[in-house]
Amino acid sequence: MSDNDIPAFASRFRWPAGQTYPLVIGHRGASGHATENTLAAFARASDLGAEMWELDAQVTRDGVCVVSHDDHLQRVFGVDAHVSELTAAELKELPGLEVPTFTEVAALARARGAGLYVEIKAPDAAPLVWRHLKEQEQRFAALGSFDTAPVRLLREEGCDFPLSVLVRLGADPIEEAERAGADIVHLCWERGGERPQDLVTPDLTKTILDSGRQIVLWHEERPEIIGDLMTLPVLGICSDLPERLCEARDKVPA
């Protein structure tokens, strides 16, 4: 595979052929338009042109994988309760919440033809996500985490989906990727100053691509920055407002 042969990377993992790159990834769905990580947000992301949905996987007290960024439900729903302390049934019964199961989101993705970019928040979610995707033969998916341990465990247990490591500002992307055994380096550098795109240098991209890995970029909503990101040799870019990525990608010369 050449340094930036994204179609070959996609083919290796049996992703759908004929995709346009970089992929538009709806961050927690179209979370700039609807409550994050809800079925409505994911459906809206597809309506706005996103090919993939970024989502967060937690686990209830009785071992059901659900989609929520936070374990604590206060920030999003104003409810002082924790996903990990509730059963799935108790979670469903709480008024004013919409916390879908991973099974529900995966089914909607199949119906919409969307890919799933799953961030593992609770380590116990990793095998549950992998098992469900494998059982459904839902190949258009990737699994990742800031925590290298569950990613490495998936790799060691033979997970044949692309694995991603999310990299914070200040961390070494290659060191993190090696530690995780990751196929994708996800740079979470949206807080890297007024021009975070300048941090994604030609030397850095070459080093990552030469290692046989691909690059996914942070969620970005600023049009002036999105325009620059679209010129970079990356697999995908996230956004709360996926329509802005689509608009910018349409302007890039073929």
Convert the pLDDT of each residue in 69-93 to its tens digit.
999 999 999 999 999 999 999 999 9
- The verdict on residue 88 lying in a domain is no
- Helical ranges in 36-124 per DSSP H: 39-47, 74-77, 88-93, 102-112
Number of domains observed in the structure of the chain: 1
pLDDT score recorded for residue 1: 31
- The verdict on residue 129 lying in a domain is yes
| Amino acid identity, position 103 | T
- The verdict on residue 184 lying in a domain is yes
pLDDT score recorded for residue 244: 98
User: In the structure encoding, which two tokens stand for residue 74, read together?
Assistant: 């206060």
φ and ψ of 147, to 5 deg: -80, 120
- The verdict on residue 84 lying in a domain is no
Q: Which helix (H) or strand (E) holds 211?
A: none
Q: How confident is the model at residue 2 (pLDDT cuts 50, 70, 90)?
A: very low
pLDDT score recorded for residue 253: 84
- The verdict on residue 206 lying in a domain is yes
Convert the pLDDT of each residue in 100-145 to its tens digit.
999 999 999 999 999 999 999 999 999 999 999 999 999 999 999 9
Domain span at residue 125 reads 6-59+102-251
Convert the pLDDT of each residue in 170-218 to its tens digit.
999 999 999 999 999 999 999 999 999 999 999 999 999 999 999 999 9
> Which CATH number goes with the domain that contains 43?
3.20.20.190
User: In the structure encoding, which two tokens stand for residue 110, read together?
Assistant: 């199949």
Q: How confident is the model at residue 68 (pLDDT cuts 50, 70, 90)?
A: very high
- Please provide the distance, in angstroms rounded to a whole number, between the alpha carbons at the two ends of the chain: 22
- The verdict on residue 95 lying in a domain is no
- The verdict on residue 97 lying in a domain is no
- The verdict on residue 79 lying in a domain is no
User: In the structure encoding, which two tokens stand for residue 65, read together?
Assistant: 């994988």
Instruction: Assess contact for 243 and 223: CB atoms under 8 A.
Output: no
